[in-house]
Each structure stands twice: as C-alpha cells, then as structure tokens.
Amino acid sequence: MARVLAPGYDVLLGGRDTARLEALAAELPGARAWPVDLTDHDEVAEAVGGIDSLDVLVHSAGIGEIGTVADTPAEVWRREYEINVVAVAELTRLLLPALRRAGGRVVLLNSGSGLVARPGWGPYAASKFALRAFADALRAEEAPNGVRVTSLHVGRTATDMQRHVVEQEGGTYDADQYLRPESVAGAVMVAVTAPDDAALTELSLRPF
C-alpha cells in the first residue's frame, strides 16, 4: 500500500518495527517512518500532534486469533477488540480535525469475517463486525464535514498474519491460494481515488 500511495502522497509509514519502516522509507521519496504502538494511547496522541492536514488514513493494523467460544478466554476477546477496534477508533478520533481540513478519506481494512461469522472465528469476527459498525457511524457523522469512509472487506491475503492463521488451523500455507497484497493495495487506491461526487462505502475483495 505504501508503494502504491507514495507517488501521489507524502506517506507516514505506521508500524512497530522502526528498522523495517526506515528501510522502506528510504525506497519511497516523500515517505518517512512513523513508529507507534497503537495500543498506547498517550504515545498515539503525541505522534499525531504535528499532523495538521491529512488526505488519506488507511487502517491496516489488526490481529486474528482463532478459537471456539468455549475455548476463548476473556483476555483474547479484549486483545482483539483493543487492536482491531479501539485503536482504530482512537487514532481516527485524534486525526479527525486534520481529515476534515483536507476533506480526507478513511479506508478501513476489514474482512470477510466482518460480513459473515464462521465457527472458530467468533472473537475475530465480532471485532470486525464492530469495525464495520464504527465505519458506518463515522461515515454518517463525518459526511457533512467532507470526510469519506470506506470499509474494504478483504478475503484471505498472502501475509504473515495469514501464515500464522493457517498454522493455527493446522494447515499448510500456500501463498498462491490467497490474494496478493498488491491486489489489496489496488482496491485501496480505488477507494482513495474515487471521484469527488462519489462515496465508495463498501468494497468486497476475494481470492479468485
């Protein structure tokens, strides 16, 4: 996503691994590392302090821990909600003045699990349903301020997170079975570059 966005934007590369962020920033003119722990709300508030105007906010952080309701303790539910929902809501809240100033666009990488809950995916799906509700409320509230909000419901994608999930399920990871990250980035760009007279509210992307 950073590589796709970089030609048209000055990109802040958010993440936890400073070395990886700085290496990527060195490849992309106008990009810079923006290391921040999204669950540390004081750190997040400090990190957004100098952002006065923001054209695009892409939420792509998230975790997925599978397990049945019977086998999933409360701390797993809390961790999923803290990262997949609360961190998203707080970062968005803090950046709303900058987004309003720019008439910005917010893209939330959701999941097919935000539309249909499957056995063994209760906590993750619940967090993604909540993320969809957050996007719907944000869209309705911020439309008068010129901020557009898109929920991107993405199927299984060839990432480290997907590898971890497959291993949790006891399967064999094969990247060719899943969406390429570049394809997801292309869908993000569809949302970001939609005409000013259009609001792309939801988009669903699945492996073919």
Nearest to 55 by CA among 208, 196, 192: 192
The per-residue pLDDT for 74 is: 96
Asked whether the whole model's pTM tops 0.75, one would answer yes
Report if residue 77 sits inside a domain.
yes
| Residue 141 to residue 145: CA distance in whole angstroms | 8
Catalytic, 81? Answer no
Whichever domain contains 67, its CATH number is: 3.40.50.720
Q: Provide the domain count of the chain.
A: 1
Tally Cβ neighbours within 10 Å of residue 19: 9
Q: Residue 110: inside a domain, yes or no?
A: yes
> Is 199 among the domain residues?
yes
- Could you report the per-residue pLDDT of 129-151, keeping only the tens digit for each? 999 999 999 999 999 999 999 99
38 lies in some domain: no
User: Which residue range is the domain that position 59 belongs to?
Assistant: 52-205
56 in a structural domain = yes
pLDDT digits (tens, 9 = 90+) for 85-109: 999 999 999 999 999 999 999 999 9
Q: Is the pLDDT of residue 83 over 80?
A: yes
d(CA 132, CA 98): 22
92 contacts 48 by C-beta, under 8 angstroms: no
Nearest to 49 by CA among 39, 34, 33: 34
Residue 42 lies in a domain: no
Residue 168 lies in a domain: yes
What tens digit of pLDDT does each residue of 34-68 get? 999 999 999 999 999 999 999 999 999 888 888 89
Q: Is residue 137 one of the residues assigned to a domain?
A: yes
Considering the candidates 9, 81, 124, 178, report the single residue annotated as catalytic: 124
Is a pLDDT exceeding 90 seen at residue 158?
Answer: no
The answer to whether 9 and 1 have CB atoms below 8 angstroms apart is no
- In the chain, what's the furthest Cα-to-Cα distance? 49
